Structure 1
Amino acid sequence: MKRCLMIDRQKAESLIERIEKYYSILAEFKKLTLEEYLKDIKTVYSSRYLIQVCVESCINLSNHIIASDKMGVPSEYADTFRILCKNNLIDEKLTAQLINMTRFRNRLVHLYWDIDDEFVFEIINNNLEDINAFVKSIKQYLKLLKL
């Protein structure tokens, strides 16, 4: 597939830096036990927000690449990851995980009053590496483009 190569390097790097910053803060919460996590309301609410903005930044980065390289038009947030998969930037397993993270992001935004904080803790401990894998895949792609 011919690439348009109109990706704004500074924008992509800025989004990657943001994702990595959010990821590193969330990773700190892995040191906590479930009881410690649930007891600290500031940690609970900040982790919810950090997951939301981290996933949104992944979506924004994906949309920038998709639009720049004319890969297609996503009809919903989850489509951004499907399009990246279709264009071999991420694999199917990671795509499925990122779609699940996007669904959870939607829940955080639209059903914020009905969030299971034990589930948030599980995401931090079991699914955070999906964000890291996404960033690595995008960095590899940008390196191939020599950006």
Structure 2
Amino acid sequence: MVSKPYESLSKAEKYAIRYSLIIIAETVSALALHIARRALGAVPQTPTHALRLLRDSGFLSPRECDELERLVKLRNLLAHRYWAVDDRRVYESVKGDFESLLNFLQRLEMLYGI
């Protein structure tokens, strides 16, 4: 959908982008919580806390942690304050690369074979 110009996106496509980001953020949150609990033996209080524990352990770089935290916070905005969302900003964010997310997933794949 982000290969199309923003102006040509339908309302349904804009909502589909939002939904996709929610799913991605939920997955990142679940993975971070799981790894912090299983691999580090930690008891994170929130997904962002889990990401910070992964950063402190060296599993994530500070930049990766910051970017993934922003993704989790965006999920909260999309889910709980959806009326305040600027779809153009979301669209522009998605058009950027997901390098930190890809690095996180590749690291998981190498370590855990997932």
- Quote the residue 1:13 is aligned against: none
The yes-or-no answer on 1:35 pairing with 2:4 is: no
- Pick from 7, 16, 23 the counterpart of residue 53 of structure 1: 23
State the structure with bigger RCO (CA 8 A, min sep 6), 1 or 2. Answer: 1
TM-score (norm 1): 0.70
Which residue of 2 is the match for residue 140 of structure 1?
A: 110
Identity of aligned residues (%): 22
Q: For 1:129 and 1:122, how far apart are their aligned partners in 2?
A: 15
User: Which of 24, 48, 57 is the matching residue for 1:78?
Assistant: 48
How far did 1:77 drift? Answer: 1.9
Q: Give the Cα separation in 1 of the matches to 2:104 and 2:8.
A: 29
Gaps of 5+ in 2: none
Residues 57-95 of structure 1 show CA distances to partners (whole Å, capped at 9, x for unaligned) of 111011111111244122222111111111211111100
SS at match of 1:32: coil
- The answer to whether residue 100 in structure 2 is matched with residue 125 in structure 1 is no
What do the CA deviations read for 1:37-75 (whole angstroms, capped 9, x no partner)?
A: 3xx111100110110111111110111111112441222
Corresponding residue pairs, total? 114
CA distance in 1, matches of 2:19, 2:93: 13
Q: Contact 1:90–1:137 (CA<8 Å) still a contact in 2?
A: no
Kindly state the Cα deviation for residue 133 of structure 1 after the two structures are TM-superposed: 2.2
Gaps of 5+ in 1: 1-28
Number of the residue aligned with 1:25: none
User: Is the contact made by 2:30 and 2:47 (CA closer than 8 Å) also made in structure 1?
Assistant: no
Q: CA deviation at 1:32?
A: 1.2
Contact 1:89–1:138 (Cα < 8 Å) also in 2: no
The runs of at least 4 consecutive aligned structure 1 residues that moved more than 4 Å come to none
CA-atom RMSD, angstroms? 1.7
- Equivalence for 1:102: 72
Name the residue aligned to 1:17: none
